[in-house]
Amino acid sequence: MGKATAMVTGASRGIGRGIALALAAQGYDIAAVATRLQGDAVRPGLRELQREVEALGAACLPLVADIADLASHEDVVLQAVARFGGIDVLVNNAGVAPLVRADIMECSPESYDRLMDINLRGPFFLTQAVGRRMVAQVKSGAARAPKIIFITSISSRVASPNRAEYCVSKAGLSMAAKNFAVRLAEHGINVYDLQPGITATDMTAGVKEKYDRLIAEGLLLNQRWGTPEDVGKAVVALAEGYFDYSTGSVIEIGGGFSVERL
């Protein structure tokens, strides 16, 4: 088979960057989607990622788009297909936390709508657009079976009333993954739900002290923070077909967070 292409959303930083670099190191060309082409002192952009991907010997197509803007989806897909000939792996990673952690009784409609648009509505309809392309690839005899990977969160099933809108958006995304897994199975397109736990990114920098303490007190079996590289390794395993008999699976990348124990 020739080189494969992965589309990664939210690719310029955090978990998305870790995923894009892990796939590039494995030989995947990257269609990288994010809202910023150029970075600044605080947040990197797609150009920085492009240099890192190309240093690994893979090609990188920077695609500036807001995943919440449904009108941008078809153009993003068409650009990726025009450059690489198809999309073999879609990684729905783009997501945001609330601008302010507020008690559920104080959650505003504006904050709720923002998270639903970016974390749930956008990935749902992007998957629809990419899924149609993948079905066409399968029907045309593509040698490689496409994969779709949703990056959700342990927050899809663990309540945090000070950021309830985030939890609800991720719970919805997990259900979207299940539904796409059922619908696309007949075409041989596997869909997975990867659930990172406490992961060191700029999104969690503001609560570092809290989670440092909880980890030290034994919250996790693997007593450390997760990293974007941990998630990247799992994505590579799924993309490479090591879990081909496991479509619809929910896989926690959380250091043993969910193991019940006395």
Rounded CA separation 139/96 (Å): 35
Say yes or no to pLDDT of 38 above 90.
Answer: no
More confident: 1 or 39: 39
pLDDT for 120: 98
Instruction: Give residue 228's identity as a one-letter amino acid code.
Output: P
Selected catalytic residue, list 166, 192, 211, 245 = 166
Say yes or no to pLDDT of 39 above 80.
Answer: no
218 pLDDT band, cuts 50/70/90, is very high
pTM of the model: 0.96
Query: In CATH terms, is domain 5-253 a member of 3.30.70.20?
Result: no
Task: Choose among 254, 120, 119, 127: nearest CA to 190.
Answer: 127
Rounded CA separation 2/198 (Å): 36
26 pLDDT band, cuts 50/70/90, is very high
Neighbours of 223 (CB within 10 A): 12
Is residue 28 part of the annotated active site? The answer reads no
More confident: 206 or 181: 181
Q: What is the pLDDT of residues 144-202, one digit of tens each?
A: 999 999 999 999 999 999 999 999 999 999 999 999 999 999 999 999 999 999 999 98
| Beta bridge mates, 61 | 31
Average pLDDT over residues 30-53: 91
